[in-house]
Amino acid sequence: MLDMKYLRNHFADVKAKLQHRGEDLSELEHFGELDEKRRKLIAESESLKAKRNDVSKQIPKLKKEGKDADAVIQEMREVGDKIASLDDELKAIESQLEQLMLSIPNIPHESVPVGEDEDDNEQVRKWGEHPEFSFKAQPHWDIATDLDILDFERAAKVTGSRFVFYKGLGARLERALMNFMMDLHADEHGYEEMLPPYIVNRMSLTGTGQLPKFSEDVFKLEDWDYFLIPTAEVPVTNYYGDEILQSADLPKKYVAFSGCFRSEAGSAGRDTRGLIRQHQFNKVELVHFTKPEDSYDTLEELTEHAEEVLRRLKLPYRVMNMCTADLGFTAAKKYDIEVWMPAQNTYREISSCSNFEDFQARRAGIRFRREADKKPEFVHTLNGSGLAIGRTVAAILENYQQKDGTVIVPEVLRPYMGGKDVLR
RNA sequence: GGAGAAGUACUCAAGUGGCUGAAGAGGUGCCCCUGCUAAGGGCAUAGGCCGCUCUUAGCGGCGCGAGGGUUCAAAUCCCUCCUUCUCCGCCA
């Protein structure tokens, strides 16, 4: 959520910056009117309340002195009715204004390229050499099905499309990656480890920005106002919701493993085969809480930590600075890390590293105090995948595949694989 | 799932309609006393959000788990919900 005072005072400027996102901003036009109406109603109602408080203090005195208070009480009854009707009106305006504010996306940072679609994303850097094959590179779903380490068919029977069973060394590989990534970030990058709830309430999803606008993307539990998490970002960021942290507490950095659940509404027909777009997948997520002045340095650090996973796995990748059209609703700046997928002859997103500045913190109420007598300020929140595990499995299968259909296990994973060096 | 109890500030806690922005204690900070320590004494310590104004400040509104209601007036009375605890049931 944007700062209402800032929006009021810099309306034209904010609007111009939001327009680069290419989203419909017609809602935004109602802001001025609602904001003004709200403040007018508050002023009216509160001056009546001040009067009521004042007169109500006199009533017991009048009574004590044996004077008649009926006329005053009658007058206050009318004042009370007037207050009630103003407050009703105010409540309606405020809920409209809140809906509006919750639907306005974040302002892109000045270092974000202005663009119209994903073709305008800028490559920041590139790492690693594409593997050369003396044979036609196979897609990971064929490799895995042949090795009998992934079973999409039976998952479709047991649940439905976009689900998978990991089997044998496939399951082992997924678990090895989880442990490798968690160890790397916890032991070497200095993150505190966390295992969050997989189910969250409406307020948490509103805090991180998935709700109210993107309700069709998340799974909701029947008869409960609870949702399956689409990413550990949601529980971990909201961990400090409605709290005021001490200056010395910051920065805070967490690494969380979780299952992730996404409805993939609107993705029908895209990536229907393989591990790329599943309703359920595992992910190791990095979440930072920083002081405002540190968040852009932190974004670089966070992205670096995610890249390190790919470098140790020796998987080629590139880093993209996402343009205004491809930023996502909540981010002020976002780097996507894309891993090379030989069979598709293309790079695919494997991590998204974003700085939300105070956008999520304002929604979730995450603040800190610089000094004991200072006003609290909103923290900046950031997160990034470090990494999506299913997609990493897919990338390993495709980049490490051999002519005979086996797959070499990346060296760093072998200790986690009971010493196995090849999937066969 | 059933029965009961509780939620007031950093902590504990008093408070059944106006004199309560809220007693008291602990904690914390500063000061006094003391050769040092212990003990003692004094002072300070309500955050936060919102609105207005002549914006290094002032004024007003809200706030006692959350939201409604009753009342001229609610921490206090009523309703709904949430959380925690105890017992029973169920369960990995």
C1'-nearest nucleotide to the CA of A69: B72
Sign of CA dihedral A388, A175, A275, A413: positive
pLDDT of residue A72: 85
pLDDT of residue A142: 96
Q: What is the DSSP string of A91-145?
A: HHHHHHHHHHHHHSPPPPPTTSPP-SSGGG-EEEEEESPPPP-SSPPPPHHHHHH
pTM of the model: 0.93
The answer to whether A56 is a known catalytic residue is no
Judge if the beta carbon of A52 is closer than 7 A to nucleic acid strand B.
yes
Q: How far is the CA of A43 from the C1' of B54 (A)?
A: 19
Q: How far apart are CA A204 and CA A235, in angstroms?
A: 7
Q: How far apart are CA A49 and CA A37, in angstroms?
A: 18
β-sheet bridge partners, residue A220: A227
C1'-nearest nucleotide to the CA of A46: B61
Pairing of the two strands A407-408 and A192-194: unpaired
SS3 of residue A198 by DSSP: coil
Q: Which nucleotides along chain B are within 7 A of a protein C-beta?
A: 18-19, 47-52, 60-62, 68-69, 71-73
C1'-nearest nucleotide to the CA of A42: B51
Catalytic residue chosen out of the listed positions A94, A304, A349, A377: A349
Q: How far apart are CA A314 and CA A221, in angstroms?
A: 40
Please name the residue that has the structure tokens 């009998």: A148
pLDDT of residue A163: 96
Give the model confidence (pLDDT) of A121-137 as tens digits.
Answer: 999 999 999 999 999 99
Please name the residue that has the structure tokens 């805090």: A207
Token duo for residue A259: 């299952």
pLDDT of residue A51: 87
Contacts of A103 (CB under 8 A, 6+ apart): A27, A212, A213
Q: What is the DSSP string of A312-355?
A: HTT--EEEEE--GGGS-SS-SEEEEEEEEEGGGTEEEEEEEEEE
The ipTM estimated for the assembled molecules is 0.80
Q: How far apart are CA A245 and CA A111, in angstroms?
A: 29
Instruction: Kindly provide the b/e burial profile for residues A210-247, where b requires at least 16 CB atoms within 10 angstroms of the residue's own CB.
Output: bbebbeebbeeeeeeebbbbbbbbbbbbbbbbeeebee
Catalytic residue chosen out of the listed positions A21, A162, A172, A262: A262
Q: How far apart are CA A84 and CA A69, in angstroms?
A: 22
Judge if the beta carbon of A67 is closer than 7 A to nucleic acid strand B.
no
Catalytic residue chosen out of the listed positions A204, A295, A351, A352: A352
pLDDT of residue A265: 87
Judge if the beta carbon of A76 is closer than 7 A to nucleic acid strand B.
yes
The answer to whether A352 is a known catalytic residue is yes
Per-residue pLDDT of chain A (424 residues; tens, 9 = 90+): 999 999 999 999 999 999 999 988 888 999 999 999 999 999 999 889 888 888 887 887 787 777 777 888 888 888 888 988 999 899 889 989 998 999 999 999 999 999 999 999 999 999 999 999 999 999 999 999 999 999 999 999 999 999 999 999 999 999 999 999 999 999 999 999 999 999 999 999 999 999 889 989 999 988 888 899 999 999 999 998 888 888 888 899 999 999 999 999 888 888 989 999 999 999 999 999 999 999 999 999 999 999 999 999 999 999 999 999 999 999 999 999 999 999 999 999 999 999 999 999 999 989 888 877 678 889 999 999 999 999 999 999 999 999 999 999 999 999 999 999 999 9
